[in-house]
C-alpha cells in the first residue's frame, strides 16, 4: 500500500489540542513535503500517519531510533526485523547471512557508508547516524516512506544526494522538511502545516519559495 486516505487525525498534549482534526489523502506516486515552522505539528502528523498505516511504510523518525551498542549492519537489518522468524533474527545477531550482508552493504555504499558496516552506532557522527536510519528505511523495501527531517544533519551536497535517492527509491513519500528549497526540488506536492491545521496544499510546480515562507 503506497496510498492512503486518512481522516480524524488529531493530537493533544497536556489537555490542549495541537493538531487537527484534519484529513490527508495521498495518491500513489505523490512525493509530499510537509512544511511549516517548528512546533506547527509536522512531526506529530508523521507519527499519526505511521500509527495508521504501520507496516506498510518505512519510517525515518527525527530521533532516528538507532541502537548504539549494535553495529551499523544490525541497525539497518532492523528495517525487516518483523518479517523474519525469531530464530533467523537471533542467528543474524551472531552470524549474519551473506545475502543480508551484501544487501545492507550495497545500500550503505549508496549513502557513502560502506566502510562503516561493522562500526557501532555510538561511534558515528550525527550525519552518519541519520544516513544509517535512512538505509534502514530503504532496506525495509516498503513502497511508502514517512520521514521526519531526514537530512537535517547533512551538508548541502549530501542532503541533495539523499533526497534524490529517497525520491527515486520510494513510490510514494511524506517527508517533513524545514528546507523549502529541498521541498520544491524533490517533492511534487507541498502541504503546509500551521497552527495544527493544513494551511496550504498545492503542487510544487505551482509554488515558489516565497509562497511557502509565509508559513514560517
Residue written as cell 537489518?
77
What digits encode the pLDDT tens for the residues 191-206?
Answer: 999 999 999 999 999 9
Identify the pLDDT of residue 179: 96
Peptide bond between residue 92 and the one before it cis (omega within 30 degrees of 0): no
> Residue 189 pLDDT more than 90?
yes
- 163 in Cβ contact with 186 (< 8 Å): yes
Q: What three-state secondary structure class fits 101?
A: helix
Q: What are phi and psi of 214, to 5 degrees?
A: -65, -15
What digits encode the pLDDT tens for the residues 57-114?
Answer: 999 999 999 999 999 999 999 999 988 888 888 889 889 999 999 999 999 999 999 9
Secondary structure letter of residue 62 according to DSSP:
T
For residue 82, give its domain range: 4-213
CA pair distance 28, 51, nearest whole angstrom: 19
DSSP output for 5-20: EEEEEEEEETTEEEEE
Q: Which of 131, 130, 104 is nearest to 118 (CA)?
A: 104
CATH number of 88's domain: 3.40.50.300
Identify the pLDDT of residue 215: 92
> Residue 1 pLDDT more than 80?
no
Identify the pLDDT of residue 205: 97
Which residues lie across from 147 on neighbouring strands?
60, 175
Number of compact structural domains in the chain? 1
Residue written as cell 510514494?
172
Answer with the residue of higher pLDDT: 31 or 17. Answer: 31
- 49 in Cβ contact with 4 (< 8 Å): yes
What digits encode the pLDDT tens for the residues 142-180?
Answer: 999 999 999 999 999 999 999 999 999 999 999 999 999
- 30 in Cβ contact with 172 (< 8 Å): yes
Amino acid at each position: 500500500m503506497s496510498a492512503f486516505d486518512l481522516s480524524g487525525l488529531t493530537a493533544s498534549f497536556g489537555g490542549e489540542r495541537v493538531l487537527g482534526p484534519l484529513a490527508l489523502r495521498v495518491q500513489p506516486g505523490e512525493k509530499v513535503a510537509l512544511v511549516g515552522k517548528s512546533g506547527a505539528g509536522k512531526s506529530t502528523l508523521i507519527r499519526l500517519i505511521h500509527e495508521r498505516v504501520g507496516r506498510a511504510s518505512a519510517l525515518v523518525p527525527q530521533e532516528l531510533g538507532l541502537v548504539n551498542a549494535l553495529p551499523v549492519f544490525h541497525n539497518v537489518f532492523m528495517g525487516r526485523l518483523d518479517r523474519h522468524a525469531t530464530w533467523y533474527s537471533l542467528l543474524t545477531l551472531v552470524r549474519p547471512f551473506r545475502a543480508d550482508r551484501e544487501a545492507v552493504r550495497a545500500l550503505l555504499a549508496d549513502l557513502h557508508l560502506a566502510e562503516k558496516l561493522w562500526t557501532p552506532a555510538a561511534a558515528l557522527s550525527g550525519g552518519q547516524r541519520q544516513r544509517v536510519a535512512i538505509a534502514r528505511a530503504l532496506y525495509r523495501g516498503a513502497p511508502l516512506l514517512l520521514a521526519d527531517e531526514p537530512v537535517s544533519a547533512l551538508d548541502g551536497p549530501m542532503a541533495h544526494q539523499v533526497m534524490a535517492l529517497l525520491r527515486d527509491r520510494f513510490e510514494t513519500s511524506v517527508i517533513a522538511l524545514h528546507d523549502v528549497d529541498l521541498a520544491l526540488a524533490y517533492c511534487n506536492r507541498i502541504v503546509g502545516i500551521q497552527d495544527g491545521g493544513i494551511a496550504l496544499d498545492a503542487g510544487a510546480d505551482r509554488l515558489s519559495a516565497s509562497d511557502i515562507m509565509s508559513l514560517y
